[in-house]
Structure formats: structure tokens, C-alpha cells
Structure 1
């Protein structure tokens, strides 16, 4: 049985512009299943330095970092793990006795999800976005050997810089034709003012083979719904958020949950449909569930 919350309970948290419940539900369900004396809570902030200072001062064990803080948080940390340093983007903070280290578990999650689909690295891609999450996705694509891609970003400095770093093309606006793999790493389709926005035109969706949207809320964005309806292979942001959260869980607790616990926690946090997708991903990456 999980111990009751007390003075020895370790707190983990998340910082996001738009806090949700899914991360809290997944982490807390894993704590319950593994009987760990931890609790997880999501927060937002308008004072990032004070929030990071609070993590250090209060001994908060770990913190997930979401938009728009993934790059802004870096100067406030004591060090970066290799992937976070290479990507220049942090989505996870681990607190070891007041020493804050930044990690990037988005990179691991995206790499594993792409690998689980067995997509040919010769597949050309078109990616919209140039922020912190885009850096993780592009790094994962390069790590898997994808050689033909274009970054679409209106921010010339960020977009062209990201493309040049990994040897891809850059353009300011969408081209007239799409690519075999379309990847959205912008807020288009996210809950809020842009919830009805389609990340790529319908004609591009119709001609692609793979649709990948990192937006997690909702799990099925207009882009994912359009691709799913046409029988495309899809990777959703909800899948990314589960897989990266598992890697965060390992960093915070030192324990890797067994596949059955991951699937059960995913079902608890996101529903049975997503849990089945996670089950397939774990099976592809580990050989069994």
C-alpha cells in the first residue's frame, strides 16, 4: 500500500503555461501502483525565477517543464545532461540536494515513438515549428538517420538556425506540396484560441503517409483526426507525453515501471485507446509487454 502523505513524502511537479491533469494522474497512478511515497502536482507561474528558486529551497525532487519555459529555464540551472545541452532545451529538472540538473526526455520519447513505427529514414518530412520541442523532435529525427527534411518557421533566426544545425532545409511558409511525413510542433490545434486550427492543409494530409502532432491537449487534434480518418499512420502528442513522463519518473525515483504498470497508468490518465497505442510502442521498443 502506498504510504499516506506525510513529512517524508517527496514532491514532484510540473510548470506549464496551461497546466493539465493528465501528467498528475499518470505519475500519481504509478506512485500508487509501485507503493512509493511521492506525490505529483501541476502548476503555472508568471515568475519563473521564483518558481525555480522554490524547487531548490523546498527540496522538490523533480519538475517537468513545458511551453513556454523550456529554453528560458536553462540559465537558472546548475547543469545540463548531454541531450539537453546538445538540444539547448530542457523539459525535466532533477533536484539532488539543491543541485538542479536539466534533462530532455522529449528527445527519448520522440525517438522511441518514431522507431516503434519502423518508418524508413529515407522518408522526407516537413516540420512546422522552431521552439524547444521542435529542437527535441529534429534531434531525434537526425539521430534515427532521417536525412531529407524541411523546417517551416516564420522566425528566420530560430528556424534556419535549427535547420542548419542538423543539415535540413528551411523556409518561412508552407510549400505548395507536402511530404510523406508531416510533423506539427506549433500550438495549432491546442486547446484554447487555436483549437480548431489545422496544422497542415487537407490536401497535404491526404497525400502524406505519417502524421505526427506533438500537441497533447487534446489528444486528437484536428490534424490527427483528419489523418486518422484517411487511414494514415499517426503519432499523437498524448503518446509523447506518456513516454517522456515515464522517463521523468525513472529520473525522479530511480525505478523503471514494468510495462503493465505503464499501460495501466496510461489508461488511467488518458483512456484505453491511448493505452493500447502505448502498449504497442513498448512492445516494439522492448520486445514484449
Structure 2
């Protein structure tokens, strides 16, 4: 059972998220930690067709923080006052912090990648092929570069965006995926509710040849790609792991408090339950 939260009142601090397809992970994760730590906060997920008005609402209503997911990670940037280095370096925002009406953009996705690679024992000498060229792809590919990975290829349907990302990070670009020791999916393929929800992000032959399969899709926690890779005995890194680490970074930005490892684990288990 989750801990019981405090009664919501006029002084309750509100945090939220904006996504094209709102999920439940963030709301359950953050609210669980608020209750466990006795914080007078509440978190709610939203979507919008009017991003400028939504961002204006953060200021108008004093919303403390806002997680940002596809397709708003780049579109929100002109609406902010300042950018933290983690977001400015890759022109992608996944977290907005409101300090007395001044909105700053951050990217906690970027911060989550390197620790996961270390956790799973993936050396920087590992060659990779990544698929995707959007805001999340910028965070992941930039994090791979900054973690010392030098042998990579970006694959994307959008040639201009894919080439730009590859060039910015010192990698190659190509239209179709080829074999590599590590495959990284940074697209909505396999995401619950997406048109390609039941599809594999990479051909089965390439999955069979790879040693590591990394899928940033968080919903569902076990995507078709992750299920297939597990069945083949590959090392897998899941979007659920990324979601947990980046959410912890957001929590610290919003509250100034770092939860314990046990509290984080309990919140993640509850969020996925």
C-alpha cells in the first residue's frame, strides 16, 4: 500500500507533466515520494493542444515544476526564460522549474543515460546504432558521446534531423539500421498507444547479432523489443530504468530533497504496479 498523503490545501505545491500521450508513471512515482516524505506537494499529468497557454499557466498558477515529454521537448524552449547547461547543450527540455515566475529548462533524461550504461557494464568501446532523431534522441545520443562512446551511427526517417544530430555528436548517419553490438531505440515504436505499438524497433536478425539492447520506451515497461532481446539472452536496458533515474532528478529539482535508495525503489515499484 502507498503511504497516505497530506490533505490538499491552499498551500499545496503543484507539479505536473505535459505529454502527447500522458501516462501514469510520473504521477504515481512523484506522489508516492511526496507522501512517503510528508511533503505538501501533488503531481498531475496533462496533455495540451495549446502549448504557449499551457506554459503560461505554469507562471500564472505558480506551478512548481513540469515534466515535458514528446512532442513538446523542443517546442517549449522559446517559451522559457533560461536553459540549464543540460538542456542548452542539446536544445531539448524534459523538465521545467518555476522559480517565482522564472521558468528554466533542464534535461534529466541526459543525466540518466551514463549511470545506466555503467550499471549494466557497457564499455564505451561498444559500437552502437541508435534509431530516432527527436528531443529524446538528442539527449541519449549526446549522453553516449559524452560518456566516451565514439563508434556510433544514427538511423532516422527524417534525414535532415538525423544527419544534424549525427554531425553534432560526431557520429555517422544512415537511413536503415545495420548490425552493431548495441542497438538503441529512441522512437515511439513499441510504445503503448502508438500506431507501431506491437512492432519491433529493429529487425530480428539485428537483435540476434547484438550484445546489448537499449529501449527508451517506458510504456509498457516490457516493449516488444525488450521482450525479444530478453528471450535471446541479451543484456537489456529498459525505458523503465531511464524513467526512474530521470524522475529522481526531477524530484530533487522540484523539492530540493534527495530520497533514499529504498524510497526510490518503493516509489518505482508502486509506479509500475
What TM-score results when the alignment is normalised by the length of structure 1?
0.91
Pick aligned residue for 2:218 from 200, 216, 219? 216
How do residues 141-180 of structure 1 correspond to structure 2 at under 5 angstroms?
A: 141-175=144-178, 178-180=179-181
Q: State whether structure 2 residue 115 is matched by structure 1 residue 108.
A: no
Match of 1:277 in 2: none
Pick aligned residue for 1:231 from 233, 238, 253? 233
Q: Quote how far apart the aligned CAs of 1:93 are.
A: 0.1
1:190 and 1:221 in contact (8 A); partners too: yes
Q: Quote how far apart the aligned CAs of 1:110 are.
A: 1.4
Residue ranges of structure 1 left out of the alignment (5+ in a row)? 272-289
- Counterpart Cα distance in 2 of 1:148 and 1:263: 33
Q: Quote how far apart the aligned CAs of 1:269 are.
A: 0.7
What is the RMSD computed on CA atoms of the aligned residues?
A: 0.9
Pick aligned residue for 1:267 from 252, 266, 269? 269
Residue 11 of structure 2 aligns to a residue whose secondary structure is: coil
Match of 1:255 in 2: 257
Q: Quote how far apart the aligned CAs of 1:2 are.
A: 4.4
Give the stretch that moved more between structures: 108-117 or 64-73: 108-117
Q: State whether structure 2 residue 53 is matched by structure 1 residue 38.
A: no
Pick aligned residue for 1:88 from 78, 86, 91? 91
Give runs of ≥4 in structure 1 deviating > 3 Å: none
Residue by residue over 1:76-106, the C-alpha shift from the partner in whole angstroms, topping out at 9 and shown as x without a partner, is 0000000100010000000000000000000
Q: State whether structure 2 residue 126 is matched by structure 1 residue 123.
A: yes
Q: State whether structure 2 residue 18 is matched by structure 1 residue 20.
A: no
Residue 114 of structure 2 aligns to a residue whose secondary structure is: helix
Q: Quote how far apart the aligned CAs of 1:157 are.
A: 1.5
- Counterpart Cα distance in 2 of 1:197 and 1:45: 27
Give the structure with the larger helix fraction.
1
1:64 and 1:91 in contact (8 A); partners too: yes
Residue by residue over 1:195-246, the C-alpha shift from the partner in whole angstroms, topping out at 9 and shown as x without a partner, is 1110001111111110000111111111000001111110111111111000
Pick aligned residue for 1:75 from 62, 66, 78? 78
- Counterpart Cα distance in 2 of 1:111 and 1:75: 28
Q: Quote how far apart the aligned CAs of 1:3 are.
A: 2.9
Aligned length: 269
1:215 and 1:221 in contact (8 A); partners too: yes
Pick aligned residue for 2:100 from 97, 101, 110? 97
Q: State whether structure 2 residue 9 is matched by structure 1 residue 6.
A: yes
Q: State whether structure 2 residue 39 is matched by structure 1 residue 57.
A: no
- Counterpart Cα distance in 2 of 1:85 and 1:110: 17
- Counterpart Cα distance in 2 of 1:47 and 1:111: 34
1:2 and 1:34 in contact (8 A); partners too: no
- Counterpart Cα distance in 2 of 1:101 and 1:112: 24
